[in-house]
Amino acid sequence: MAKTDVAIIGGGLAGLCCAIQLKRAGVPFMLIEADDRLGGRVRTDEVDGFLLDRGFQVLLTAYPECKRMLDYEELNIQPFYPGAMVRHDGAFHRLSDPWRRPMDGIEAVLSGIASLTDKIKVADLRSHCQEGTPEDLLRRPETTTLEALRGYGMSDAIIDRFFRPFLGGVFLDDSLNTSSRMLDFVFRMFSSGNNVLPARGMGAIPEQLASELPAAAIRLNCKVDSIDPNTGTVTLPTGEWIDSKVIVVATEGPEAARLLNRPQPRAWRAVTCVYFAAFEPPIRDPFLVLNGDGKGPVNNMCVPNLISPSYAPIGMSLISATVLGDPPGGDKKLVAGVWRHMQEWFGDSVKQWRPLRAYRIRKALPDQTPGALEPAQKTVKQGKGLIVCGDHMDTASINGAMASGRRAAEAALTELGRGG
């Protein structure tokens, strides 16, 4: 039997940020992770010299908690071009800076992606999202993202050709049923900073966080079997147990529900990412390319080594294609569908692409429809000696997971009589 003050279950971003705050406060803790590596949903695999993030993700430099906790210089963050390319009606249309100057590109207006009225409405949305603190945005009255966009007076054209693929890719929800609070929060974040990749992949984020923690306080390959918040006992699959004064459950929502013997949470959003190796990139700039037609499996694609060259071996390119949901059929069918779609966009050169790997992430994001974010940042303390954190307790994002981890540590310190 081991003893510690705080047992943290789960070594994703939430658990890591909780552990860091406890370490800084000098409180003994044990971080217990089921997997063989830390990072949870933010991991990068190295395959044949390519860096494959486990599902396409980006870091938004404006995220308040990331600014507090991460060393961007050390991560060597590399920005996307401040704009997107929209594939619509057989052609590619460049939107210059859809996040900070969303409709600056006259080409967008001329190409039928947006109207001049849309340009004004997007500016309205932008200024509405700049009011108050980012936390204030998460307390606003809410509706769905689709209703909110219509409420701003956006045309169906800009909703379907830009917002649906863009926000659909962020929320993993192209029905745009996600809460309008997330629209406001995410638009604020995209408008106020860059969207970037760490030079060595998204997995560098948890690696940087973990580097602050003592190895002796981390147990990997150890899936917690059960917990008893009344006694502070954490039981491991080996039958061993850990005695603690406070238990922090930092797992995904469904696993937290299992450990706490509560009903399973509402639906999850799934996403699938297919990677290919290519000799030639199909585009030349570090753009995110959005599917503005609403046809075909691919929601968005990019060439990560055009953002950070480390993503591919010299002379090669990595292609990332994101499909929303968990398409039926095997990976062979999935890859064939993506291949066909990309041939429609980029022509016969796509036939030379070599499939590298497909990631199906069935539990990628928790439910964020109206009501799910209520209250906007849920109380992490759940009872005496029991704290729950993770992205299901905040915005479903890198920022939300990290912020909830910090709030969990603050609650644990209060519980231990060490609060400020």
Ligand X SMILES: Cc1cc2nc3c(=O)[nH]c(=O)nc-3n(C[C@H](O)[C@H](O)[C@H](O)COP(=O)(O)OP(=O)(O)OC[C@H]3O[C@@H](n4cnc5c(N)ncnc54)[C@H](O)[C@@H]3O)c2cc1C
| Residues in touch with ligand X (CB under 6 A) | 9-15, 32-35, 40-42, 55, 57-58, 223-224, 250-252, 255, 271, 361, 364-365, 390-391, 396-399, 401
Map residue 364 onto helix, strand or coil. Answer: strand
Q: 298, 336 in Cβ contact below 8 A?
A: no
In the complex, minimum distance from the CB of residue 224 to ligand X, in angstroms, rounded to a whole number: 4
> Closest CB to ligand X among 66 and 413?
66
Angle ∠(381,386,389) on CA atoms, nearest 5: 55
Map residue 268 onto helix, strand or coil. Answer: coil
Q: Please, what's the b/e burial string for 238-276 (b: 16 or more CB within 10 A of its CB; e: otherwise)?
A: eeebbebbbbbbbbbbebbbebbeeeeeeebbbbbbbbb
What gap in Å lies between CA 417 and CA 411, rounded to an integer? 10
In the complex, minimum distance from the CB of residue 107 to ligand X, in angstroms, rounded to a whole number: 26
In the complex, minimum distance from the CB of residue 323 to ligand X, in angstroms, rounded to a whole number: 11
Q: Write the burial class of residue 36 (CB in 10 Å: 0-12 exposed, 13-18 middle, 19+ buried).
A: exposed
In the complex, minimum distance from the CB of residue 221 to ligand X, in angstroms, rounded to a whole number: 10
> Closest CB to ligand X among 158 and 364?
364
> Closest CB to ligand X among 107 and 225?
225
> Closest CB to ligand X among 31 and 113?
31
In the complex, minimum distance from the CB of residue 322 to ligand X, in angstroms, rounded to a whole number: 8
What gap in Å lies between CA 102 and CA 152, rounded to an integer? 15
User: From the CA atom positions of the chain, what is the Rg in Å?
Assistant: 22
Cis ω on the peptide bond leading into residue 64 (within 30° of 0)? no
Residues 6+ apart with CB under 8 A from 127: none
> Closest CB to ligand X among 24 and 223?
223
What gap in Å lies between CA 360 and CA 48, rounded to an integer? 20
> Closest CB to ligand X among 12 and 165?
12
Q: 120, 127 in Cβ contact below 8 A?
A: no
What gap in Å lies between CA 26 and CA 354, rounded to an integer? 50
> Closest CB to ligand X among 218 and 342?
218
> Closest CB to ligand X among 120 and 262?
262
> Closest CB to ligand X among 196 and 413?
196
Q: 304, 293 in Cβ contact below 8 A?
A: no
- Only one residue has tokens 């690696």, namely 207
In the complex, minimum distance from the CB of residue 151 to ligand X, in angstroms, rounded to a whole number: 25
> Closest CB to ligand X among 114 and 182?
182
- Only one residue has tokens 């066909």, namely 340
In the complex, minimum distance from the CB of residue 271 to ligand X, in angstroms, rounded to a whole number: 5
Distance of CA 36 to the CA centre of its chain: 21
Query: Which residue in 29, 28, 43, 33 sits closest to 11, CA to CA?
Result: 33
In the complex, minimum distance from the CB of residue 123 to ligand X, in angstroms, rounded to a whole number: 24
Query: Could you tell me how many residues make up the chain?
Result: 420
In the complex, minimum distance from the CB of residue 120 to ligand X, in angstroms, rounded to a whole number: 28
Q: What is the DSSP track for 295-335?
A: -SSEEEEE-HHHH-GGGS-TT-EEEEEEEES--SS-HHHHH
In the complex, minimum distance from the CB of residue 136 to ligand X, in angstroms, rounded to a whole number: 19
Neighbours of 349 (CB within 10 A): 14
